[in-house]
Amino acid sequence: MDFPPAYTANTLKGFCVCYFKNTDHDPESPPHYHITVPISDDSYLLLCVITSQMESRIKYYQRTNKRAVPCLVSVDKNDLHFLKKESIIECNQPNLVRKKDFGRIVDPDQKCKVIMRDIPSDIKEKIIKAINDSPIVKPFIKKLLRKSS
């Protein structure tokens, strides 16, 4: 059974992985996996995209802000079983979305699927550290991160 994205958003607690096409991204881009990062305000979701475009992201940050490169968290199928190739979690550009507005960023022509309801502890720690260490993430987002994730 398919549930509306706004309903799905309200069921996301802690670190979850969702798969959907984000309407804020290029219309030609495929759906991506996104990790929800727990924050202190339960009416919002903090989303970090997982992308296999590692080289282009690394090169981009090497050109624009070298201190952001270590804030790309490398993962593969040993970390997240559903991945087909080595990827990165983009922790420099987390997307803060109201749960009630989640349906606006999910392409209605594509399904939104919850892939995992929890992720390995070491990946959680790396994501939190990367967001906190990022020279790009705004301070107010860093303050929203839950201390006991």
Render the burial of 96-129: b for 16+ CB within 10 Å, e for the rest: ebebeebbebbeeeeebeeebeebeeebbebbbe
| Cα Rg, the chain, nearest whole Å | 15
pTM above 0.85, yes or no: yes
Give the model's confidence band at 4: pLDDT under 50 very low, under 70 low, under 90 confident, else very high: low
pLDDT, position 94: 96
- Give the mean pLDDT of 116-121: 93
- H helices present in 68-120, as ranges: 102-105
Whether the predicted pLDDT of 133 surpasses 90: yes
Q: Give the pLDDT confidence of 34-63 residue by residue, as tens digits.
A: 999 999 888 899 999 999 999 999 999 999
Q: Taking the CB of residue 57, how many other CB atoms lie within 10 A of it?
A: 19
> What pLDDT score was predicted for residue 31?
92
Residue bearing the bigger pLDDT, 27 or 45? 45
Which of 42, 37, 54, 51 minimizes the C-alpha distance to 128? Answer: 37
Compute the average pLDDT of residues 113-125.
93
Contact 38, 149 (CB under 8 A): yes
What is the rounded distance in angstroms from the CA atom of residue 53 to the CA atom of residue 51? 5
Q: What is the mean pLDDT of residues 128-145?
A: 95
Please write the tens of the pLDDT for every residue from 51-110: 999 999 999 999 999 999 999 999 999 999 999 999 999 999 999 999 888 888 888 888
Contact 73, 123 (CB under 8 A): yes
